[in-house]
Amino acid sequence: MKLSRLLKTVSLGVLTVGISGRFAYYDYNSANNYGSRRDAPPENNSRAYQTQQQYATVSHKVTNLRLNQTLSDMVQGMSGVNSAIVMMGDNIAYVAITIDNTAFGTRGGRADAVPGYGSETNNYGLVRGLYNTYDQGNDYADPNQLIPGVQGADTVMHHEYLSHMFKQKIAEKIRMAQPSVQDVYISANRDYVNEFNAIAQEAWQGRPLEPYRERFVSLNERIFGTGVTIPTQTENNGR
């Protein structure tokens, strides 16, 4: 009788969990869940990325440009990140990432609510056995581009389409590893990723990056702007 009652209690507990949904136990921030609705703190003054731009105009006119391979490898090792290149402009970390499906909640705002919104990579050919659905007879990929726009890791058009918590965790990891970092800028924009890849290849071959500094400055001014940012509804809600 006791065993029967115990089995019934366990079965009822499993059924209750099934009815109430997994969020009662699993919807918490973790290494592979950046989109928790339960315990995501609202964005506040402790935001770890684009911190200075919350209060004042900023400048991306750096005087020293270099690749930080250690930070690149650390960020690339995070769930949800497919690839990462971290360039240091003076003491500011600029991060170009591509994303994958190894984590939940990497997207924010409308990109979180509408699947595929803001995505710049066309992977529809996967279900049709094609490389490029734009040009079905063409399998060419530009070797100079990390992300050609067809078949590959995902990029998103605007940095606001990455969730607050995802960017927060990336920035916190960078700041913890290198406390001298003054600010962190993060983007998964395809042009941004490809430009960083081109500059990184120069660094990997031991070439100086000074010839690319002005190009780097212009790129960041275009992607992030220099004016004071206005937190979106997504950011205010901590997503």
- Residue 212 above 90 pLDDT? yes
Query: Of the ranges 90-94, 108-112, 159-163, which one carries the lowest mean pLDDT score?
Result: 108-112
Determine the pLDDT at residue 44: 53
Determine the pLDDT at residue 39: 56
CB 33 within 8 A of CB 39: no
Of the candidates 77, 73, 98, 99, the one whose C-alpha atom is nearest the C-alpha of residue 86 is 73
At 231, is the pLDDT very low, low, confident or very high (cuts 50, 70, 90)?
low
Token pair for residue 66?
């270099």
At 189, is the pLDDT very low, low, confident or very high (cuts 50, 70, 90)?
very high
CA of residue 74 relative to chain centroid, distance: 13
- Residue 6 above 50 pLDDT? no
Number of other CB atoms surrounding residue 196 within 10 Å: 26
Token pair for residue 212?
């690319």
Q: Is 9 exposed, middle or buried (0-12, 13-18, 19+ CB in 10 A)?
A: exposed
Instruction: Please give the model's pTM, rounded to 2 decimal places.
Output: 0.74
CB 223 within 8 A of CB 192: yes
What gap in Å lies between CA 211 and CA 197, rounded to an integer?
15
- Residue 75 above 90 pLDDT? yes
21-30, 152-161, 184-193 — most confident range: 184-193
Burial 153-183 (b: 16+ CB within 10 A, else e): bbbbbebbbbbbbbbbbbbebbbeebeebeb
Beta strands in 90-213 (DSSP E): 92-99, 183-187
212 versus 127: the higher-pLDDT residue is: 212
* Length reported for the chain: 239
Number of other CB atoms surrounding residue 71 within 10 Å: 23
Q: What is the DSSP letter of 141?
A: -
